[in-house]
Amino acid sequence: MKVLRFDDAGYSDFVSELDRQAMPGTDLYETVAAIVNEVKQRGNQAVFEYTSKFDKLDLTEETMFVSEAELAEAEAQVEDSVKEAVAASKRNVHSFAKLSMRQDWTSTNAEGAQVGERFVPYDRVGVYVPGGKAPLVSTALMTAAIGQAVGVKDILAATPAGPDGKVNPSLLYALKESGATQIIKVGGAQAIAAMALGTQTVKPVEKIFGPGNSFVVEAKRQLVGAVSIDLLPGPSEVLVIADDSANPAFVAADLLAQAEHGGDSVVGFATPSESLLEKVKVELEKQLAQLSRADYIRQVLDAGTFVLITKDLEEAVNICNVFAPEHLSLIVENEDAWLDKVKTAGAIYVGNYAAVAVGDFLAGPSHTLPTGGSGKSFSGIRADQFQRRTSIVRMDKASVQKSEKYVAEFARVEGLDAHGASVSIRANS
Ligand SMILES: NC(=O)c1ccc[n+]([C@@H]2O[C@H](COP(=O)([O-])OP(=O)(O)OC[C@H]3O[C@@H](n4cnc5c(N)ncnc54)[C@H](O)[C@@H]3O)[C@@H](O)[C@H]2O)c1
Ligand SMILES: [Zn+2]
């Protein structure tokens, strides 16, 4: 664990490097561009070759789709307790999504024209559910179920299968419950390209949602234009900001939970309290000894974890605003005042009892959140991203007459006579 105090040499350099930009390195860019291009040129053939190379699975035009029989088998296998957990999560995700959907509105502008916005669900979207390291059952809910709540009819899900051609049954069950209408056993950049561009058997989608590893995220970035995307949700991150009001055992538990996401995830802890840090360290060792993936977690704690002893809380919050962590856990006295100062974090968990893991699985907001610094310009998945938006203008003769003189000015300075004429012909009719 890298620990730096505000007056250490190297502290300010380290802090300035936390100001990240979510842009790919050249190698990643080129690897993904080649995959996208191959899928564009050769469709399924390329998809199958990459699946064979990266996932050690040979697919055909038939077996690339999860069949009804496989879905039924999954449903039979999944324990009732898992089904109850999926239902509980779906209930919260749906009610959060309904509250956050955009509503149609109309108003009148200064010249008396009726103006408004209209929102309708997309017809066909794609969701990516990562499957490389862990079967992210909850990610089905945190992507597809939001589209389902909004009323998207066609939801194509992509997730990599194992070399035996099987997808985790709980994940299949959750995808079906979350409104997925078709599931392909394809992962990585090739899955994103297939959904965006279409293949001989995959009908293209209008928009792509969901997290993934660096190949998946970069493919989404490159395919903007063919489709729109939700955001750039890559390897998971947490920043904990805490003072002496924090329970050290809870802080340690959240740091360990985050480290469990694996080698590419980021774990950060910023506190002005050295005594809290000492207590958290003791707790980390104590709790780590109890965990099944202790070796794996220790690697992340050693290599991917940083601790900053800041001058004060103000500085910790400023660091958060520059770093834009995917998750912020804010455990401080006077929490509302500090909360007001946080501008950039994908999701904020306030207080000792707000465990990040409840947000991962159950709370209601999507756990699909911006990472790698992209939180400075993107938000997490929201219901309104599943809504296509358009504007409406309706006018009568009186409003066109009132608009005419201003339109004439714009038409004159832009040199667009026909524009001016199309309004005056109506105003003077
Ligand atoms: N930000 C969020 O909201 C959020 C939510 C859930 C998960 N995640 C992140 O998603 C990620 C999931 O990653 P994962 O790897 O487990 O699963 P994944 O499904 O994203 O990636 C697996 C795929 O990557 C491709 N791949 C593997 N090696 C490759 C290579 N060398 N070249 C090209 N393609 C290759 C393979 O086709 C494979 O199917 C994790 O980093 C996790 O933290 C983020
Ligand atoms: Zn997590």
Look at residue 21 and tell me if it is in a domain. Answer: no
Give me the number of domains the chain comprises.
Answer: 3
Structural domain for 417, as ranges: 395-427
Q: What percentage of residues in the chain have a pLDDT greater than 70?
A: 100
Residue 218 is a catalytic residue: no
Tell me the three state secondary structure of residue 237: strand
**243 and 216 in a common domain:** no
Residue 262, pLDDT score: 80
Q: What percentage of residues in the chain have a pLDDT greater than 90?
A: 92
End position of a domain, from candidates 170, 195, 229: 229
In angstroms, rounded to a whole number, what is the distance separating the alpha carbons of residues 214 and 220?
10
Q: What is the pTM for the complete model shown? A: 0.94
State the ligand closest to the CA atom of 258. Answer: 2
Mutate which of 54, 127, 369 for ligand 1? The one with the most ligand atoms within 8 Å of its CB, which is 54
**415 and 320 in a common domain:** no
**134 and 82 in a common domain:** yes
State the ligand closest to the CA atom of 262. Answer: 1
| Neighbouring residues of 368: CB distance < 8 A, sequence distance ≥ 6 | 139, 142, 143, 209, 210, 211, 230, 231, 233, 380, 381
**37 and 154 in a common domain:** yes
CB of 264 closer than 6 angstroms to any ligand 1 atom: yes
- Count helices and strands in the chain by DSSP H and E runs: 18, 14
In a 13 Å sphere around the CA of 409, the CA atoms on its Cβ side amount to 3
Place of tokens 């012909």: 425
Residue 24, pLDDT score: 83
Q: Which two tokens stand for residue 164?
A: 């035996």
End position of a domain, from candidates 200, 229, 258: 229
**121 and 213 in a common domain:** yes
* 21 confidence band (pLDDT: 50, 70, 90): confident
State the Cα angle at 370 between 211 and 24, rounded to 5°: 80
User: Is the model's pLDDT at 190 over the cut of 80?
Assistant: yes
**271 and 224 in a common domain:** no
Residue 254, pLDDT score: 97
Q: Out of 62, 326, 335, 367, which one is annotated catalytic?
A: 326
**293 and 278 in a common domain:** yes
In angstroms, rounded to a whole number, what is the distance separating the alpha carbons of residues 76 and 169?
9
Residue 327 is a catalytic residue: yes
**340 and 320 in a common domain:** yes
Q: For residue range 339-368, list pLDDT tens digits in order.
A: 999 999 999 999 999 999 999 999 999 999
**217 and 87 in a common domain:** yes
Residue 290, pLDDT score: 94
CATH number at residue 307: 3.40.50.1980
Q: What are phi and psi of 316, to 5 degrees?
A: -60, -40
- CA separation, residue 425 to residues 108, 112, 412, 419 (Å): 23, 18, 16, 10
End position of a domain, from candidates 210, 229, 248: 229
